[in-house]
Amino acid sequence: MKKTTPTKSVTSKTTRPTEKRATGTGGTLHQFRLRLPDEMREKLAESVMANGRSLNDEIIYRLMQTLEREGTRKKLSDSLKSQGDRLANVEKEIANLVEQLRLRDD
């Protein structure tokens, strides 16, 4: 059985579960504690150093990338379905025309 490593909190040891604060852009920041496995935290720390971002900024960047990819995938999936539906209709029209030509030749 694989030994699991305990997770560590990335944020400070406050007892508040969440905290909201206003930003200068009219938005609100939500602060919360996050526990990460040691290995994940180490990988993020490497990315932080390589990308010149804070740990918070790196996590936000990666979450945004994931959300954007999901949105793009959904749009592509919808587009492919629509194209597939259109192709199926064209195939039906071609089959009908072929059938009409056969009947006309008989």
The string of pLDDT tens digits covering residues 33-79 is 889 999 999 999 999 999 999 999 999 999 999 999 999 988 989 99
| Domain range annotation of the chain | 38-106
More confident residue, 22 or 41: 41
Question: What is the structure's pLDDT at 23?
Answer: 57
Q: Give the single-character DSSP code of 99.
A: H
Whether 33 contacts 17, CB under 8 Å: yes
CA pair distance 30, 19, nearest whole angstrom: 6
Question: What is the structure's pLDDT at 14?
Answer: 43
